A and B are shown apart, each in its own frame.
Chain A
Amino acid sequence: DQQVKQNSPSLSVQEGRISILNCDYTNSMFDYFLWYKKYPAEGPTFLISISSIKDKNEDGRFTVFLNKSAKHLSLHIVPSQPGDSAVYFCAASRSQTGANNLFFGTGTRLTVIP
């Protein structure tokens, strides 16, 4: 049962334009959300996160928006660059004692066309 969903397996965007990657979740107990970026043959690298008490977090060209009522978050990349071409994973976590597992979506492959 997939608690975190990324319904778009791929996205192509022209260099300099905005990339919008979407993510939906089903568990209302999630209180932290993260985006990871993954290049082929490498492990995922942390990109940006947002707490459930916020609706927006910005870091340079990357902004994550959270809509708790819709259980939806999105990652905006502006402007998109060819080096942004990678697979992006959305992840969610629920704070609890013992351990904090991350639940991942299936990923969206972003291609930025020069």
Chain B
Amino acid sequence: DVKVTQSSRYLVKRTGEKVFLECVQDMDHENMFWYRQDPGLGLRLIYFSYDVKMKEKGDIPEGYSVSREKKERFSLILESASTNQTSMYLCASGFPPGTYGYTFGSGTRLTVV
């Protein structure tokens, strides 16, 4: 089974801190994604990457950056955490959606205080 692992299940950070969320996949997938999930808003795409060192902005990139130095690892960076970035963050990876879609990690619940 494909595994997408997010480094933390729960995080509490202070306003202004720099926050790193890590995601690792074990299936040599080209595409990796970062989403955030908020009540009533569904899943919104922050950034995605289709190759090493390649990145594309999603729908809500403001306040975030990403890094993909190796194919298996995709990091989301909150440059200066703010309370409105409190959310569930979900990483996904896969080949083009096709029949099986993308595989998601278990998520990181980030609280910024």
Contacts and interface: CB of A to CB of B under 8 A. Distances in A.
B3 to A, nearest CB: 11
B31 A99 contact: yes
Given A41-B107, A43-B107, A100 B96 contact: yes
Nearest to A100: B96
A105 B42 contact: yes
Interface in A14-72: 32, 34, 36, 41-46, 49
Q: Could you say which of A9, A46, A103 has the most chain B C-beta atoms within 10 Å of its C-beta?
A: A46
Contacts of A85: none
Interface in B66-113: 90, 92, 96-107, 109
Most buried by B among A34, A45, A93, A102: A102
B24 interface: no
Most chain A CB neighbours (cut-off 10 Å) among B40, B43, B92, B98: B43
B50 interface: yes
Interface string A75-114: 0000000000000010101010011111111110000000
Q: How large is the interface on B (under 10, 10 to 19, 20 to 34, 35 or more residues)?
A: 20 to 34
Given A32-B97, A93-B97, A101-B58, A45 B42 contact: no
Given A46-B103, A93-B96, 10 more contacts: A32-B98, A42-B106, A43-B107, A44-B104, A49-B99, A49-B100, A99-B49, A101-B45, A104-B42, A107-B42
Interface of A: 6, 9, 32, 34, 36, 41-46, 49, 89, 91, 93, 95, 98-107
Interface of B: 4, 9, 31, 33, 35, 40-45, 48-50, 56, 58, 90, 92, 96-107, 109
